[in-house]
Amino acid sequence: MAELKYISGFGNECSSEDPRCPGSLPEGQNNPQVCPYNLYAEQLSGSAFTCPRSTNKRSWLYRILPSVSHKPFESIDEGQVTHNWDEVDPDPNQLRWKPFEIPKASQKKVDFVSGLHTLCGAGDIKSNNGLAIHIFLCNTSMENRCFYNSDGDFLIVPQKGNLLIYTEFGKMLVQPNEICVIQDVSPFNVVAWHGNYTPYKYNLKNFMVINSVAFDHASLLVCSQDPSIFTVLTAKSVRPGVAIADFVIFPPRWGVADKTFRPPYYHRNCMSEFMGLIRGHYEAKQGGFLPGGGSLHSTMTPHGPDADCFEKASKVKLAPERIADGTMAFMFESSLSLAVTKWGLKASRCLDENYHKCWEPLKSHFTPNSRNPAEPN
């Protein structure tokens, strides 16, 4: 396939015309009485009409037939997609999954849609307020079918293999370490479009991460260097500063903080945290948390570095060091309390029953008679 060309810019007003139909974008207006080439004008809105201009998201598409000219929708019974968050009793335990198994194409062909498995989520589709985390496990391309998600934005984080995604705005090749956001209806008959509501992809290696240059990784009140500094994308809730979901990454970077325990600290969080690993390892858990697996620490569930990480990071002589070279971990941090599905707990057969054991070797170092800890060697 010829190399794909991309339009650059996040949230920009972009436009595109099929080179075979020059001038297919109407000039000076969106909805002429008759469109160039006798195309149909169709608007796709991503924000309420009443949103202020600065937050207004919409695109205009000029297509051979409007999207409405489809056959009636019919329900299909396949896949493991659910929005039933009461399938199992609430589980406050720390949960970790071994790498999810991709089915073998020689046994059964599974495409992206059939390969969607809901792992956890919260909220309500009808009120358009919520979040679902699905694991996609597929081995074959979609043929003669397309997919759109009218429940919300779809952020895709591939871990293995490449995705060539055909959208009504054009094609995107998305590879591990890249992400993309889509919702697109895809009878592929769009000749031209313009607007600021489009699918996009992003290479995580381009994210400019910041970190402490003096001390502390997460000081209270002032200058909080918590993972919010690693936030790439935010799905906002109606409460200012509180996200339905933040997409956060832990990319390769420098660690230079003085007199500081540098790995993630122990914490209980009023937000829920789902983590995954695209490649390498995660600094707080060198073993057990593997690429292609995941972990969930839901609201207020305590977690933090494993015993080995704690011992090493408490003793190490602090010098500037490269952290996480060759690795990429990510997190969805959500203000919703994420419930796990039956598939997540049982049918996936990937739940790591031994996860809690990574904290078992933690021992008390309390020294009641000596206030000052010994200097590391």
Active site residues: 217, 267, 273, 297, 303
Q: Which residue is nearest to ligand OMD (CB)?
A: 264
Contacts (Cβ under 8 Å, ≥6 apart) of 74: none
Q: Indicate which single residue of 303, 338, 344, 352 sits in contact with ligand OMD (rule: CB under 6 A).
A: 303
Distance between CA 209 and CA 322 in Å, rounded?
13
Binder of residue 293, out of ligand OMD, Fe ion, none (CB less than 5 to 8 A by kind): none
> Residue 335 CB, nearest distance to ligand OMD (Å)?
14
Burial letters for 46-68: b for 16+ Cβ neighbours within 10 Å, e otherwise?
beeeeeeeeebeebbbbbeeebe
Contacts (Cβ under 8 Å, ≥6 apart) of 304: 264, 265, 266, 267, 284, 310, 359
**The pairing of beta strand 200-203 with beta strand 178-182:** antiparallel
Residues 38-67, interacting with Fe ion (CB under 5 A): none
> Residue 247 CB, nearest distance to Fe ion (Å)?
15
Q: Indicate which single residue of 138, 180, 277, 284 sits in contact with ligand OMD (rule: CB under 6 A).
A: 284
- Residue 267 binds ligand OMD (CB under 6 A): yes
What SS3 string covers 63-96?
ECCCCCCCCCCCCCCCCECCCCCCCCCCCCCCEE
Binder of residue 226, out of Fe ion, ligand OMD, none (CB less than 5 to 8 A by kind): ligand OMD
Q: Indicate which single residue of 168, 184, 273, 306 sits in contact with ligand OMD (rule: CB under 6 A).
A: 273
- Comparing CB distances to ligand OMD, the nearer of 60 and 282 is 282
> Residue 283 CB, nearest distance to ligand OMD (Å)?
8
- Comparing CB distances to Fe ion, the nearer of 61 and 95 is 95
Binder of residue 98, out of ligand OMD, Fe ion, none (CB less than 5 to 8 A by kind): none
Distances (CA, A) of 29 to 60, 64, 80, 103, 198: 10, 19, 44, 49, 19
Site track for ligand OMD across 331-360, x = CB under 6 A: x-----------------------------
- Comparing CB distances to ligand OMD, the nearer of 117 and 217 is 217
State the virtual CA torsion across 89, 91, 96, 99 in degrees, nearest 10: 20
- Residue 264 binds ligand OMD (CB under 6 A): yes
> Residue 282 CB, nearest distance to ligand OMD (Å)?
7
- The C-alpha angle with vertex 203 and arms to 202 and 209, in degrees rounded to 5, equals 105
Here the tokens at position 58 are 């919409």
Q: Indicate which single residue of 87, 153, 226, 308 sits in contact with ligand OMD (rule: CB under 6 A).
A: 226
Here the tokens at position 334 are 């959500």
Closest CA to 276 of 83, 137, 100: 100
Residues 256-315, interacting with Fe ion (CB under 5 A): 273
Binder of residue 284, out of Fe ion, ligand OMD, none (CB less than 5 to 8 A by kind): ligand OMD
- Residue 296 binds ligand OMD (CB under 6 A): no
Here the tokens at position 264 are 């993630």
State the virtual CA torsion across 354, 356, 358, 359 in degrees, nearest 10: -160
DSSP letter string, 24-70: -SPSS-SS-SS-GGGPEEEEEESS-TTS-GGG--EEEEEESS-TT-S
Distance between CA 153 and CA 183 in Å, rounded?
6
> Residue 310 CB, nearest distance to ligand OMD (Å)?
13
- Comparing CB distances to Fe ion, the nearer of 273 and 352 is 273
- Residue 96 binds ligand OMD (CB under 6 A): no
- Residue 333 binds Fe ion (CB under 5 A): no
Q: Which residues bind ligand OMD (CB under 6 A)?
A: 217-218, 226-227, 264, 267, 269, 273, 284, 303, 331
Q: Which residues bind Fe ion (CB under 5 A)?
A: 273
